[in-house]
Amino acid sequence: MGRANILVDTCIWISLFNPVENENHSKALDIINDLENNNILVPWPTLYEFINTKLARRKENLFSFEQTLLKPNVYKISDEKYKEFALEKIFEINRFRYNSVSLVDEIIKQMICDKSLKIDFLATFNDRDFEYFCQKENIIILK
């Protein structure tokens, strides 16, 4: 069997690099270890969300994450073809729903539905946000 394509949500990186502040740290370690022999797909919006001022102050974590991104099996996925539709959708969704949806999550949903990415798995701890789309596209959620 070839390498699987695994799309990674921001919460995995947050849990991995903030062990003191996050109860999902050990789960994130397990997931990241499983990713090593597969293709890791990192949506650009998750980078904006994760690499913030707080992470930038933690130089060791920042440079460790940089090493992760430099691995040959890591692919940064541009949001260019998703962002306009996702932005329109986000206003529409949040106008009629009680719970809110973030723009980053909406872009990830668009990526999940993009058959050209050939996503096999989604790594996230927010499985309820993506469950419907993953079921529809036969993508397994790693949590």
Say how far residue 64 (Cα) sits from the centre of its chain. Answer: 18
Q: Is the pLDDT reported for residue 42 higher than 50? A: yes
**Spatial separation of the C-alpha atoms in residues 7 and 143, rounded to whole Å:** 12
Percent of the chain with pLDDT over 90: 64
Q: What is the pLDDT of residues 1-10, one digit of tens each?
A: 469 999 999 9
Question: How many C-alpha atoms does 104 have within 13 Å on its Cβ side?
Answer: 15
pLDDT in tens, 65-113: 999 999 999 999 999 999 999 999 999 888 877 667 899 999 999 999 9
Under CATH, domain 5-142 is a member of which superfamily?
5'-nuclease (3.40.50.1010)
Phi, psi of 35, rounded to the nearest 5 degrees: -75, -20
| pLDDT exceeds cutoff 80 at 48 | yes
Q: What is the pLDDT of residue 22?
A: 67
| Domains of the chain by residue range | 5-142
Residue 11 has pLDDT above 60, yes or no: yes
